[in-house]
Amino acid sequence: MASAYLDPSLNHHAGLGGGVSKPGTMDRVLKIHHYLESNSEPSTWASHIRHGDATDVRGIIQKIADIHKVKCVSCLGLRLSHLRSGNIHWLHPDMGVSRVRERYELLHPQDEWR
């Protein structure tokens, strides 16, 4: 499981990094917090995932799966957690990242989401 955080300090312009994006679009960076539970103790870590304006949640999940060489991508999900209230929102794979920002940043400031 992973939760997403849009870190405004990590935004870069297209052409500065890897990934495919449309000409003229800005690449953004998601800070993804990973939570892995196994037979041993749970572990957590974070990574930065670069995405374009047209990227959907499924694309972010696929990038995470590719990084960690996960074969069963359909078993993965992405959730958004509000730090102060404890509310958790599981994100639909077909929802665009820009739509996630529009929907949830209206409710609370960006820095309150993980």
Ordered by start, the domain boundaries in the chain are 2-112
pLDDT in tens, 16-46: 333 444 454 557 888 888 777 766 777 788 8
Specify the fold of 2-112: Ubiquitin-like (UB roll) (3.10.20)
Q: Would you call 111 exposed, middle or buried from its count of C-beta atoms within 10 A (0-12, 13-18, 19+)?
A: exposed
pLDDT of 56 > 90? The answer is yes
pLDDT score of 5 more than 60: no
The answer, as to whether pTM is greater than 0.75, is no
Name the most confidently modeled range: 5-9, 36-40, 109-113.
109-113
Residue 88 has pLDDT above 80, yes or no: yes
Structure token digits, residue 10? 């990590």
Strands 78-81, 2-6: pairing kind: parallel
Pick the residue with more confidence: 15 or 77? 77
Q: Give the integer Cα–Cα distance in Å for 30 and 94.
A: 17
- 29 to each of 9, 22, 33, 61, how far by Cα in Å? 9, 16, 13, 14
